[in-house]
Amino acid sequence: MKVLNFRRVAIVLTLVWLGLFVLVPHVLVVLTSVMSPDPQHLAVWPVTLASWERLFEPVYAEVFWRSLWLSTLTTAICLVLGYPFAYIVAKLPGVWRGVLLFLMIVPFWTNSLIRTYAIKLILGNKGLVNAALLGAGLVDEPLQLLYTPFAVVFGLVYVLLPFMVLPLVSSFDKLDGTLLEAARDLGAAFWARFRLIIVPLTMPGIIAGSLMVFLPAMGMFYVADLLGGAKNLLLGNIIKNQFLVVRDWPFGAAFSVALIVIMAGLLWLYFLANQRINRQGGLDDEGL
């Protein structure tokens, strides 16, 4: 009986917490998105869909596609870098694996805003990279690295790479080495093993890692602000500007809701894919 009571209390507390701090704010955002903008009171009645219509203006479509492209590129780079890294980490003996994962997590002890500033110092005209290139005589004048899409993607990859690596490591941990031996035994050389066994069986990690990079990448306005110059590069920048600069809260809210819906859609796809893989036995094959 006691256990049951504790469970009930825990569930109620969680629900209250989620209601107060997740549901209510989101309802407020949705409400705001259908109100009228007002420079002084931020959002006023009457109810209107004007903000939602504005979402479809070409200028925002352009931001949407660019944001999508930069996030996709970031995700792809993180995957290409993170996949072999995760494989190596998962195959290393205990101590080294711990050390590498630790080093991966250490930067999190510093706020990512500060780390983004540090990237500015590295990529700037008088930064480390240019100083090295000039010093080596490879270039005659500093390269414009900062305030380019390159810098933004660089910053996003730097901040988000661990989110790709961690799910991948756990996927590689679950990958049974005797399956790779069986594939070898049946005549599969490295690429065949990679394509036919390793990739399909680590698909849950690939999808989870990609989502954990892709979703935040769409909204990381400060990275784009600091490294990309004052352009509306990402969806997150538009939202931030509508709230803090233009002070058009209904439009900013409409944008937020749209972004949330897109992310929810992607999570839904992830859920479906995972279910499919699970049904195939990719994850839970009675641990042979």
Partner 1 sequence: MNRLPILTLSHISKRFAAQEVLSDFHLTINDGEFFTILGPSGCGKTTVLRLIAGFEQPNEGKILLNGEDIAGIPAEKRPVNTVFQSYALFPHLSVFDNVAFGLKMAEVDAQNIAVRVADALAIVRLSDFATRKPHQLSGGQKQRVAIARAVVNRPKILLLDESLSALDHKLRQQMQLELKQLQRQLGITFVYVTHDQEEALSMSDRILVMHNGQAQQVGTPREIYEAPRNLFVAQFIGEINVFDGEITRALGEYQYQAMINGVERDIRCDHRFAAGDRVHVMLRPEDLRIDCRPNVLERKGFPGVVLERNYTGQTLNSHIRLENGQAVTVHEFFDEDDPDFDYSINQKVGVDWVPGWEHVIPAERSGQA
Binding positions for partner 1, rule: CB under 8 A = 176, 178-179, 181-189, 192, 196-197, 200-201, 277, 280-282, 284-286, 288
Asked if residues 37 and 251 have their Cβ atoms less than 8 Å apart, the reply is: yes
Q: How far apart are CA 143 and CA 226, in angstroms?
A: 18
**Least separation, in Å, of the C-beta of 85 and partner 1?**
24
Closest contact distance (angstroms) between CB of 71 and partner 1 is 28
Judged by DSSP in three states, 132 sits in helix
* Secondary-structure percent of the chain, ordered helix, strand, coil, rounded to 5: 75, 0, 20
Nearer to partner 1, 140 or 185 (CB): 185
- Give the CA distances from residue 144 to residues 23, 67, 167, in Å, rounded to whole numbers and listed in that order: 44, 21, 35
The nearest distance, CB 179 to partner 1, in angstroms, is 6
Any idea what DSSP says for residue 37? E
* CA–CA dist 212, 76 (Å, integer): 12
User: Given the complex with partner 1, which of 58 and 187 has the nearer CB atom?
Assistant: 187
Comparing C-alpha atoms, which of 207, 197, 175 is closest to residue 275? 207
Residue 166 sits at φ, ψ, to 5 deg, of -60, -50
Distance CA 185, CA 242 (A): 60
Which CB sits closer to partner 1, 57 or 285? 285
Residue nearer to partner 1 on the CB measure, 173 or 181: 181
Structure tokens at 221: 């306005």
Nearer to partner 1 (CB atom), residue 201 or residue 207:
201
CB of 277 to partner 1, least distance (A): 8
Smallest separation, CB 174 to partner 1 (Å)? 10
Q: Which is nearer to partner 1, 201 or 218 (CB)?
A: 201
Backbone phi and psi for residue 188, each to the nearest 5 degrees, phi listed first: -85, 120
Find, among 248, 255, 251, the residue nearest to 221 by Cα: 255
Q: Which two tokens stand for residue 262?
A: 């897109």
Q: Which is nearer to partner 1, 106 or 192 (CB)?
A: 192
Distance in Å, CB of 274 to partner 1, minimum = 13
* Shortest Cβ 100–partner 1 spacing (Å): 23
